[in-house]
Amino acid sequence: MVSNYLLLEEPIRMASILEPSKPNFFPAMTKIIGTLGPNSRSVEVISGCLKAGMSVARFDFSWGDAEFHQETLENLKVAIKTTKKLCAAVKKGDDIFIGQYLFTGRETTSVWLEVSEVKDEDVVCLIKNSAILAGPLYTLHVISTWGLRNKIDFLSLSYARRAEDVRHARDFLSKLGDLNQTQVFAKIENVEGLIHFDEILQEADGIILARGNLGIDLPPEKVFLYQKEALYKCNIAGKPAIITRVVDSMTDNLRPTRAEATDVANAVLDGSDAILLGAETLRGLYPIETISTVGKICSEAEKVYNQDLYSKKTVKYVGEPMTHLESIASSAVRAAVKVKASVIICFTSSGRAARLIAKYRPTMPVLSVVIPRLKTNQLQWTFSGAFEARQSLIVRGLFPMLADARHPAEPVRATNESVLKVALDHGKAVGLIKPHDRVVVCQKVGDASVVKIIELED
């Protein structure tokens, strides 16, 4: 079992725990995913969620119809423009719903089915207990049409059992044209997915640890072990890992339980990239306060995260010789830690270089400057970059910035300096950078990859 990366060699002065935390522009390096629903779909509430620290909005089609979610998405767009906060969109994977109880506190596991026969695309089941079937049903066509129209950034693939499930989802998205860039996150919810975890991780863009459903199949005393090992594997692979079901009590209460607060902190120390809030924001009474509270807990846990120990283990696992890009990424993080830089700025087109830097868990934010590329599908010319920028919003410590589309993908020195100045000005404006701070810049000049340290003047 992999131990927590907790900074124990420097004991904390107990009285310091009572000192108020300093406010930051980014509530936490760990990202927060909020599910938008009946209690969190107005422009006002969504704006509050964005300001509180939500970086990804999740749409759950087990609530409401396509029109309901379209209205919510339009409200999200207005809130983004109002708050000037970036936000990505993820659609929950499709479940087979036999019905829906339309009251608060509904239970989704109260009907037990036994599969008796599979006919082509039909599954014949025998209901093993008494139940009343009611509520809306969706077809794959309705949901995929909505996703295509709105160009979703992520797809959460529910009940992923094997790598083949992820490949099928990716093939389906690629046939839809504009969704070929949509990232597929595999949701591990049963023992079969747990058994084939390694092959699923290799195929998926990220992993969602659905502890609620998996906790039904696993003995309670084994859940923590699964969480630690799964997060460690994701960290080493450099793929985002998301934890669910952390503050269930905040659906109805303004404060989490002590056990829940500790659970959130341990998820951060174990290596989680993001915390996913479901019912807490979808139908909870305090969506904004929940996001704010989770962000504060994450921020405190990040302060005692042992980056040095984690980085050494990651380098050891990667081995030698490193790839060129991996070497540049690890060097940039080492340099930033040694000179106590306030931020790492990374120029990227695909987002891969910035994600590799974030893989080494630097203690400072990584500003990913995405430079658009001109591409064509033989019918029209378009600029790429928006997808890559938004998809950075789910990676711990990574904060994207989309550069001017007039800058080329392989910039010359003059253009490099121009984009760097814009990035530095942005960092100053949001409070990331102050006079006399040191900044580490990772960029490409011609065919050479360069890591340089800049000390800012007044």
Question: Can you give the CATH number for the domain in which 394 is found?
Answer: 3.40.1380.20
Q: What band does 413 get if pLDDT is binned at 50, 70 and 90?
A: low
| pLDDT at residue 209 is higher than 80 | yes
User: Residues 356-379: what's their mean pLDDT?
Assistant: 83
Can you tell me whether residue 73 is helix, strand or coil?
A: helix
**Tokens of residue 222, six digits:** 């084994």
Q: Residue 79 domain-assigned?
A: yes
Q: Which two tokens stand for residue 203?
A: 């195929």
Secondary structure (DSSP) of 28-91: -SSEEEEEE-TTS-SHHHHHHHHHHTEEEEEE-TTSS-HHHHHHHHHHHHHHHHHHT---EEEE
Q: Report pLDDT digits (tens) over 91-105.
A: 765 554 444 444 444
Q: What is the CATH number of the domain that holds 55?
A: 3.20.20.60
Q: What share of the chain has pLDDT > 90, as a percent?
A: 47
For residues 241 and 374, state if they share a domain.
no
Can you give the pLDDT at residue 140?
61
Query: What pairing do the DSSP bridges indicate for beta strands 206-209 and 122-127?
Result: unpaired
Question: Does some domain include residue 285?
Answer: yes
Q: Does a structural domain hold residue 219?
A: yes
Q: What residue numbers bound the domain in which 146 lies?
A: 22-96+139-303
* Domain final residue pick, 273, 303, 333: 303
Q: How confident is the model at residue 358 (pLDDT cuts 50, 70, 90)?
A: very high
The verdict on 295 and 225 lying in the same domain is yes
Q: How many CB atoms lie within 10 A of CB 250?
A: 25
Q: Is the pLDDT of residue 242 over 70?
A: yes
Instruction: With respect to residue 4, please indicate whether it lies within any of the assigned structural domains.
Output: no
Average pLDDT estimate for 397-402: 90
Residues 163 and 240 in one domain: yes
Same domain, 26 and 112: no
Pair 213, 329 in one domain: no
* CA distances for 209 relative to 89, 182, 196, 248, 281, angstroms: 19, 20, 14, 16, 18
Kindly state the percentage of the chain with pLDDT values over 70: 82
Nearest CA to 160 out of 215, 204, 223 is that of 204
Is residue 407 over pLDDT 70?
Answer: no
Q: Residue 16 domain-assigned?
A: no
Task: Give the pLDDT of residue 60.
Answer: 86
Do 87 and 102 reside in the same domain of the chain? no
Q: What is the pLDDT of residues 313-328, one digit of tens each?
A: 888 888 778 888 899 9
Q: Which of 260, 287, 303 is the last residue of a domain?
A: 303
Phi-psi region of 297 (alpha: psi -120 to 50; beta: other; left: phi over 0): alpha
| Cβ neighbours for 173, distance < 8 A, ≥ 6 positions apart | 155, 179, 180, 182, 184
- Answer yes or no: are the C-beta atoms of 294 and 30 closer than 8 Å: no
Say whether pLDDT at 199 is over 90.
yes
Give mean pLDDT, residues 287-303.
95
* pLDDT value at residue 63: 74
Position 315 scores a pLDDT of 87
Same domain, 233 and 296: yes
Higher pLDDT, 215 or 271: 271
Of 87, 107, 136, which residue sits at a domain end?
A: 136
Is residue 155, in this structure, part of any structural domain at all? yes
pLDDT at 24: 64
Q: Within this chain, do residues 113 and 218 fall inside the same structural domain, yes or no?
A: no
In a domain, 231, yes or no: yes
Residues 124 and 195 in one domain: no
Per-residue model confidence as pLDDT tens digits over 26-78: 779 999 999 999 999 999 999 999 999 999 999 987 777 888 899 999 999 99
> Do residues 209 and 66 share a domain?
yes
State how far the Cα of 425 lies from the Cα of 432, in Å rounded to an integer. 10
pLDDT for the residue numbered 82: 93
Give pLDDT, residue 273: 96
Q: Determine, yes or no, domain membership for 1.
A: no
Best CA proximity match to 226, nearest among 195, 262, 265: 195
When the pLDDT of each residue in the chain is averaged and rounded to a whole number, the result is 84
150 alpha carbon, distance to own chain's centre: 19
What does the pLDDT read at residue 181?
86
Q: Does residue 237 share a domain with residue 357?
A: no
DSSP 377: -
What are the tokens at 69? 């979610």
Q: Is the pLDDT of residue 409 over 50?
A: no
> How many domains is the chain built from?
3
Asked whether residue 239 falls in the same domain as residue 335, the answer is no
Q: What is the residue type of 131?
A: A
3-class SS shares of the chain: helix, strand, coil, % to 5: 40, 20, 40
Do 102 and 135 touch, CB atoms closer than 8 A? yes
